[in-house]
């Protein structure tokens, strides 16, 4: 597992994160390791609390916070990813002109969090059933926050809300995504050091489309009665307030007596 994290294409992942806000890492865990973590959900002694997502308007589903001591596999994942995510987090902080309090060692960072009054664990295990979903939300714990997190799928995806089956190759795939607040924007001025920091981009948990499809639609007649009139002129004409039109009354001419 640790070797797979080290073998990931981290320059490409960083490019994806800077451009789109998320970067797929690839398959990290084996099927046996996925089952090992999934089966923990039914054993409450591994967790400190359970969150009903609908209650807090986070979506529909349920997740549980792991309790200390963390399972060995979860702890190994954190220590394996941290050295590769740390340079990205520091780069974002520099571009946004924000402090970067994260040390080189994960255990030292956790000790800082505990000293600041944040002793509870933050890794979670989510369980989705049919028709469950996750809303875009921010669930922060304390003032000391690492700006990236890693999401790992543990079972074979089924049918999503669009009735489209996700390829099985995405099983047990991991992807670091913005975990809180903002990431630096892209563009010619995004990396410049000027008094006003670059405009941040809000995080999104939606991956970009990687394939394209064009649908050819049959020609339809225009809806308005005057095909030669441009849509802009038609719209402006419809939006104008009606004006009073003078009326002209005509009377039939009669011959004089």
Out of 113-122, 170-179, 239-248, give the one with best mean pLDDT: 113-122
In angstroms, rounded to a whole number, what is the distance separating the alpha carbons of residues 179 and 189? 24
The DSSP result for 200-257, as a single string, is EE-----PPP-S----PPPP---SSS-TTS-HHHHHHHHHSPP---------------
Q: Would you say the pTM of this structure is higher than 0.75?
A: no
Provide Rg for the chain, Cα atoms.
29
In angstroms, rounded to a whole number, what is the distance separating the alpha carbons of residues 177 and 25? 11
Residue 109: which pLDDT band, with cuts at 50, 70 and 90? very high
Residue 4 predicted with pLDDT over 70? yes
What SS3 string covers 159-206? ECCCCCECCHHHCCEEEEEECCCCEECCCCCCCCCCCCCCCEECCCCC
Residue 140 DSSP class: -
Question: Which domains does the chain show, CATH number per domain?
Answer: 2-185 (2.60.120)
Contact 146, 99 (CB under 8 A): no
Rama region for 187: left / alpha / beta (φ>0; ψ in -120 to 50; rest): left
Determine the pLDDT at residue 190: 55
Residue 91 predicted with pLDDT over 90? yes
């Amino acid at each position: 597992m640790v070797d797979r994290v080290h073998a990931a294409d981290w320059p490409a992942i960083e490019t994806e994160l800077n451009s789109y806000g998320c970067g797929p890492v690839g398959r990290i865990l084996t099927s046996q390791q996925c089952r090992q973590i999934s089966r923990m959900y039914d054993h409450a002694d591994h967790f400190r609390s359970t969150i009903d997502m609908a209650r807090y308007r986070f979506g529909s589903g349920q997740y549980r916070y792991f309790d200390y001591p963390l399972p060995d596999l979860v702890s190994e994942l954190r220590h394996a990813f941290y050295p590769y995510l740390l340079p990205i987090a520091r780069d974002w902080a520099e571009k946004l002109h924000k402090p970067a309090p994260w040390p080189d060692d994960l255990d030292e960072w956790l000790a800082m969090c505990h000293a600041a009054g944040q002793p509870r664990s933050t890794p979670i295990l989510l369980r989705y059933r049919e028709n469950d979903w996750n809303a875009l939300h921010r669930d922060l714990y304390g003032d000391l926050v690492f700006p990236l997190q890693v999401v790992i799928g543990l079972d074979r995806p089924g049918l999503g809300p669009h009735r489209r089956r996700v390829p099985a190759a995405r099983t047990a795939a991991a992807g670091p995504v913005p975990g809180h607040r903002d990431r630096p924007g892209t563009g010619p001025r995004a990396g410049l050091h000027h008094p006003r920091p670059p405009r941040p981009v809000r995080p999104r948990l939606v991956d970009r489309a990687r394939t394209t499809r064009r649908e050819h639609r049959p020609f339809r007649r225009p809806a308005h009665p005057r095909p030669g009139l441009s849509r802009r002129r038609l719209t402006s004409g419809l939006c104008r307030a009606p004006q009073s039109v003078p009326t002209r009354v005509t009377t039939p001419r009669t011959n004089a007596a």
